[in-house]
Structure 1
Amino acid sequence: MKPLITVIVPVYNGEAFIEKCFNSILNQTYKNLEIIIINDGSTDGSQEICDKFAELDERIIVVHQSNIGLSSVRNKGLDMASGELIGFVDSDDSIHPRMYEILQKHLHDNDADIAMCEISKVYDTNINEHIRESNITVNKQEIHFLEQEEAFKNLFNEKNLVTVVPWNKLYKKEVFKHVRYPDGKVHDDEFVIHHIIQATKKIVFTDAVLYYYFHNENSFTNEKYTLKRLDAIEAIKDRVLLFELQKYNELLQKGSNTYLHLIIIHYYSVQRHFPIEKEVMEQLKKEFEIGFKNYKNIINYKNRMELKFFSIHPSVYSRFVKVRKRLSNLLF
């Protein structure tokens, strides 16, 4: 028998879209599934829909609980999982009928620790049309192999989203032996992806589009800026510390540059959206000063000179950026 795949589905106030999501999982050509649906304190009709699906298919396990947050839900699903392999599906998304069939085959045939696929951001619920478009990519799919170093480098290029998100992948359960999502944090995938890559030897990637990421206007990524987003700085700092500990010098250069620029981005975001939060801005400036002192000598000259302006004063950096933009417009 093919190995059991545990699919973990967090649900929170998803009555408008979870039936579509659940059906896309139940309609998988790969049948040996354990589907753990965790209803995280929904206040709409999600509970009734989850229970209805559990009655329809014995592979479904439903847990209802008070709201504890996405990270804790993912961890609970991992702790409950019986499968040798693990997958995640967000409840407002859908998957291609052959997603787990294809990923399991690539995982097995290539002795990989993770198999991942290409994703498509969709703006409607016409799943059948998306499947027809995906079938073209399935029939022409190309397979690529990522060793640890290349997977880490993908965190800093156009493949960042595909690499970081948890839900377009099939994992060997052992990958999570020492990895859990941080409770109470947003950007939880950014916190764990570098630890997941560190726990793997090989990742196989197919460019077939098998996961449909629904553009939900009410999702966290589309919310107005809040101070919760500062968690992203902590996540990238943790990544930098891993690179430093493992002596990944090239990655440390990229990571520290990203970390310091992220602090700057959030400084101006707080300044714009929460101008009264002077203490938060001061804390960000202090964190930047410490980080710049620690990493300035490993960052390339061009980035170091740019970051130097912020270390002098944020207003100096702002003027530098405006002048650079004006010059760029004149030249191009």
Structure 2
Amino acid sequence: MKLVSIIVPAYNCISSIERCIISLLGQSYEKIEIIIVDDGSTDGTGDKCLNMALGDKRIKFYSVEHRGVSEVRNEGLRHASGEYIMFADADDYVKNSFVMQMVAALEADPDCDMAVCNYERVVYGGLYPIRTFTDDGMISKEDYLIQTLKDPGHHYFGVLWNKIFKRSIISENAISLKKDITLGEDFVFSLNYLKFAAKVNIINDKLYFYCYQKNDTLSRIINKSLKDCENEMHNRNKIFDNYVETMKKAGLYDRMKKRIYHYWIVFLVRQRYSLNAEYRWKREEKHFWIRKMHENTNIKTALTIYKRGEVQLEYMAFAIVQTIKNIMKKTLKSIKRQ
């Protein structure tokens, strides 16, 4: 039985961290170490974590000045001694078979270097349906990368907490979370890891409970500023550079170029929808943002690959789905209030 290191970044999460850690301590797979790194919390999270660490030798606790989640996860990686690496977020919790099933999936084939599980999304205390992207089973890393093209920005592909990694691949190739990327840094970590992987095993069992953030998503979108959007596009340019690099190394870029650039069609469609239905901006700000997006080199390329009618169909489909999602979230929120 190989040691598994589970890295948990913690920042001002005093109301949820205990639930997360208790679910990890209750794993049926016994050989684990839980590495909690407190990111300079100011609400007592650090003291709570320290007390939990004093009560169970499987917990290792570290505290740093506030650095942000990427650097905190990198700090956790530096202290990890397990042969396998997993991650969990302090707001979430897991099934007691989470580690056992992930390890079994990773060890099912000597050429398997990463395993991925499905998850439940908890919204206002209720379960919110998510899309299933892949079938169960062992696939090549090339096939997995092709699967990401369905929606590379989706949590399923982008996050770290539904995956298990080999520490040897991480350390031998100096893979870390990028400090200069503040959105989608998890996905970039996975992409850089996949450059050195052979096979990926998919588990469709829902082993992780991702808990919807306390802040209302629609409120956050409505209050989004032009600067926020510019920062997102700047981050997406960096993510896309890594995506293209990984696809080229896997020999997939030329064959999948149109689908790869769909990443930018999705971004453009979502921004157009938000400009029409959500952002509370002045007219000149909206015009400026439209112009700014169309000056982006990657978006320009995407619009030479996709026809106007294809983009319009994408927009209509997205608008319908978004409307349904907003209704479902409002319904779950009203049920919680009752």
TM tier relative to shorter chain? 0.7 to 0.9
Q: Quick check: 1:254 aligned with 2:254?
A: no
For the structure 1 residues 162 and 286, does the alpha-carbon distance in structure 2 shift closer, same or farther, using more than 3 Å as the test?
same
Asked if the contact 1:5/1:84 (under 8 Å) is kept, the reply is yes
Q: Quick check: 1:161 aligned with 2:155?
A: yes
For structure 1, list consecutive stretches of 5 or more residues without a partner in the other structure: 131-141, 310-316, 326-332
Asked if the contact 2:265/2:302 (under 8 Å) is kept, the reply is no
Aligned to 1:74, what secondary structure does the other structure show?
Answer: helix
CA distance in 2, matches of 1:222, 1:189: 24
- Structure 2 counterpart of 1:134: none
- Structure 2 counterpart of 1:18: 17
Deviation at 1:16, TM superposition (A): 0.9
- Structure 2 counterpart of 1:100: 99
Asked if the contact 1:267/1:284 (under 8 Å) is kept, the reply is no
For the structure 1 residues 151 and 246, does the alpha-carbon distance in structure 2 shift closer, same or farther, using more than 3 Å as the test?
closer
Residue identity matched to 2:9 = P
User: Equivalences for 1:320-331 in 2 at 5 Å?
Assistant: none
For the structure 1 residues 187 and 274, does the alpha-carbon distance in structure 2 shift closer, same or farther, using more than 3 Å as the test?
farther
Q: Quick check: 1:193 aligned with 2:190?
A: yes
For the structure 1 residues 266 and 166, does the alpha-carbon distance in structure 2 shift closer, same or farther, using more than 3 Å as the test?
same
- Structure 1 counterpart of 2:203: 206
CA distance in 2, matches of 1:158, 1:254: 10
Deviation at 1:102, TM superposition (A): 1.4
- Structure 1 counterpart of 2:76: 77
For structure 2, list consecutive stretches of 5 or more residues without a partner in the other structure: 128-134, 320-338
Asked if the contact 2:122/2:209 (under 8 Å) is kept, the reply is yes
Deviation at 1:241, TM superposition (A): 4.3
> RMSD value over aligned CA atoms?
3.3
Q: TM-score, normalised by structure 1?
A: 0.76
Asked if the contact 2:195/2:246 (under 8 Å) is kept, the reply is no
Q: TM-score, normalised by structure 2?
A: 0.75
Deviation at 1:186, TM superposition (A): 1.9
For the structure 1 residues 98 and 31, does the alpha-carbon distance in structure 2 shift closer, same or farther, using more than 3 Å as the test?
same
Residue identity matched to 1:27 = G
Deviation at 1:261, TM superposition (A): 4.1
Asked if the contact 1:260/1:291 (under 8 Å) is kept, the reply is no
Asked if the contact 2:192/2:242 (under 8 Å) is kept, the reply is no
Residue identity matched to 2:56 = D
For the structure 1 residues 105 and 11, does the alpha-carbon distance in structure 2 shift closer, same or farther, using more than 3 Å as the test?
same
Deviation at 1:263, TM superposition (A): 4.2
Q: Quick check: 1:113 aligned with 2:113?
A: yes
Residue identity matched to 1:90 = D
Deviation at 1:156, TM superposition (A): 2.4
Deviation at 1:44, TM superposition (A): 0.8
Q: Paired residue for 2:143, among 132, 140, 150?
A: 150
For the structure 1 residues 120 and 305, does the alpha-carbon distance in structure 2 shift closer, same or farther, using more than 3 Å as the test?
same
For the structure 1 residues 33 and 96, does the alpha-carbon distance in structure 2 shift closer, same or farther, using more than 3 Å as the test?
same
What does the per-residue CA deviation read over 1:89-118, in whole Å, with 9 as the maximum and x for residues that have no partner?
A: 000100111111111122112221112211
- Structure 1 counterpart of 2:307: 304
Deviation at 1:22, TM superposition (A): 0.5
For the structure 1 residues 243 and 82, does the alpha-carbon distance in structure 2 shift closer, same or farther, using more than 3 Å as the test?
same
For the structure 1 residues 97 and 221, does the alpha-carbon distance in structure 2 shift closer, same or farther, using more than 3 Å as the test?
farther
Looking at CA atoms only, which structure, 1 or 2, has the larger radius of gyration? Answer: 1
CA distance in 2, matches of 1:257, 1:165: 20
Q: Percent identity?
A: 23
- Bigger drift between 209-218 and 253-262 goes to 253-262
